[in-house]
Amino acid sequence: MCGIVGYIGKKEAWPVLIKGLERLEYRGYDSAGIALLREGAFSVYKKKGRVSELSKLVKNKNENELSGGVGIAHTRWATHGVPSDVNAHPHLSNGGDIVIVHNGIIENYLSIKKILISKGYKFKSDTDTEVLANLIEDVKNNAKVNIEEAVRLALTEVVGAYAIIVLSKDEPDTMVVAKVGSPAVIGVGKNEFFVASDATPIVEHTKKVIYLEDGEIATIKRNPKNKKLILKIKTIDNKVKNLYVHTLKTKINELEKGGFPHFMLKEIFDQPESLRNTIRGRIVLEKGNVKFGGLEKFKDELKRLNRLTIVGMGTARFTGLIGEYAFEELARIPTKVEYGSEFTYRDIAEPSHTGLIAISQSGETADTLNSIKKAKKEKMLTFGIVNVIGSSIAREVDAGIYNHVGPETAVASTKASSSQVLLQIMLAIYLGRMRGLSKAKGQEILKEIEKLPALVEIILKNAKQIEKIAKKYKNSDNFFFLGRKYNAGTAMEGALKLKECSYIHAEGCNSTELKHGPISLIEKSFPSLVIAPKDSLYEKNKSSIEEIKARGGPVIALTTFGNKELENIADDVIYIPETLEILTPILAFVPMQLLAYYISVERGNDVDKPRNLAKSVTVE
């Protein structure tokens, strides 16, 4: 939630910051703002709405008003206070000495605010962030310290999650960055530094980055003698830390739409290549096995695992419901799927010899990250399936597997989710081969996995047919998505995609539950999409279709090419190529993503930035 950007260096800050906000707008778009520090004074511009509204606000400003080589910026997803110009960041302190941008939640802000009010501080906004700005100013003035020390001391009083960038007009050549629980990345250029919530605003300027760890404060300061900028990092409890520079692999063209009208459609069509990248170098066909470099040193612990717990939120959790079947079928390991948020706060019945698999596209999901920390305290072996290299989850887990699908910009996950399913199936094969899964069975599945990219290409060639179906159902108010076994989780993910993008109320459930309550909702205006490939439960799913039709409900059937039977029962039929039952969710994802996309477009929605949602949920 929320995106922060900072720049200090030789360039004009404004163009760097505004472009950075555009790159980060998927993290929040309730309001946006920029503060520039020039000649010992702040210029603050902020506006409710999208980043484009901020650009309009300054359209008639002259170059001098927007000049300066130091600045911070913010795009907001509201937590405290409604979206408004006043609540937009950056926030100034009462005395005007401090300006701050903040991603996160200060949990004890009200108690701090009461103390500050008693000292005479006044507040213009409803945000917790303005409280932090005034707390830093209060510490700086009373303790007679510089801005770096004022931030450090203030943060010792703070409870919550944050990534902040702070400037002081009294120290115009200094920028302070700090984080706990929310991500912060520092890009290292040639006598210039870039700060952001993730690497997307940085990659076009430098490939060298430093990921701040929880409890760290970075100070960027210009040496008055040689004018060189120096970066130092220490902890909130004042311990000096060494700098570790990572090299980004993201390419700038991966952040562009590539001729597609929306990022979501581009990312749906990216899936043949993203699946190839997920597979590449990991299949050992002659052994009927899979290799994951990050797991090799944990082989002994992996062999001793008796149980698995999968944690995730939203799409990631739904892919875990599919993975659960794979781990139990192929590896014979009892597996449980949990909300990351709930796992953190519950007792673990038997943590010994239990592995935790944390799934997150961004690698920054706060609930999932907290569940990893809980698991590590219980001495559980932790794994991550994440897409973003160097993310918080990737650094926190004992061992990780990267998706390698490239940046995913649209809020609704597409290529990352299909990769998450595939990696869980591949991991199930890897664990299964340690536990009696035959080489022949491993080879059978892996041969079919290698065909997946080409099979997805076949589905994408029929996108126009799905667009026609979308036009037919665009005015629906409700939708069911139904499936069995592996495709129960698939149905839940299909429902999530539709509700995220189109704002149609959609419910995904196991189709066997239909008779246990949900069928009472069926009527002529309540369509259902039933995932019914020619698999072990095809006849059961066909019966569900007939039950819905008997009650007047429209049905879209998603089935296997060549199965013409459902054309005589369902109102519309979407076809996917034949594959193994265990792999059908990956193929079923694609037409459901297209259906959600096209219905959303038909309804005039902003597909890439659905209302009230943000791509990365970094607050609990």
pLDDT tens for 188-243 read: 999 999 999 988 899 999 999 999 999 999 999 999 888 899 999 999 999 999 98
For 3-253, which CATH class? alpha beta
| Catalytic positions | 2, 615
* Predicted TM-score of the model (pTM): 0.81
Mean pLDDT of 171-181: 94
For residues 452 and 395, the model is more confident at 452
5 closest CA partner among 82, 89, 66: 89
Mean pLDDT of 262-266: 95
Burial of 519 (0-12, 13-18, 19+ CB in 10 A): middle
Could you tell me how far CA 271 lies from the centroid of its own chain?
A: 17
pLDDT at 444 over 80: yes
pLDDT, position 139: 97
The DSSP annotation for 353-387 comes to TEEEEEEESSS--HHHHHHHHHHHHTT-EEEEEES
Q: pLDDT tens across 240-261, in order?
A: 999 889 888 777 667 778 889 9
- Rounded distance between C-alpha atoms, residue 68 and residue 60, angstroms: 17
CATH architecture entry for 462-620: 3-Layer(aba) Sandwich (3.40)
pLDDT, position 620: 64
Domain ranges of the chain: 3-253, 256-460, 462-620
pLDDT at 4 over 90: yes
pLDDT, position 618: 61
pLDDT grade, residue 1 (50/70/90)? low
Percentage with pLDDT > 90 across the chain? 81
pLDDT, position 586: 98
Which residue in this structure is represented by tokens 């664990």? 431
pLDDT grade, residue 616 (50/70/90)? low
pLDDT at 274 over 90: yes
Check for a shared fold between 256-460 and 462-620.
yes
Mean pLDDT of 432-449: 97
pLDDT, position 224: 86
pLDDT at 533 over 80: yes
Q: Which CATH entry fits the domain spanning 256-460: 3.40.605.10, 1.10.10.10, 3.40.50.10490, 3.30.70.920?
A: 3.40.50.10490
Provide, for the chain, the percentages of residues in helix, strand and coil under a 3-state DSSP scheme, each rounded to the nearest 5: 40, 25, 35
b/e sequence 21-58, b meaning 16+ C-beta within 10 Å = bbbbbbbbbbbbbbbbbbeeebbbbbbbbbbeebeebb
pLDDT, position 320: 97
Percentage with pLDDT > 70 across the chain? 99
Q: pLDDT tens across 483-512, in order?
A: 999 999 999 999 999 999 999 999 999 999
pLDDT, position 452: 98
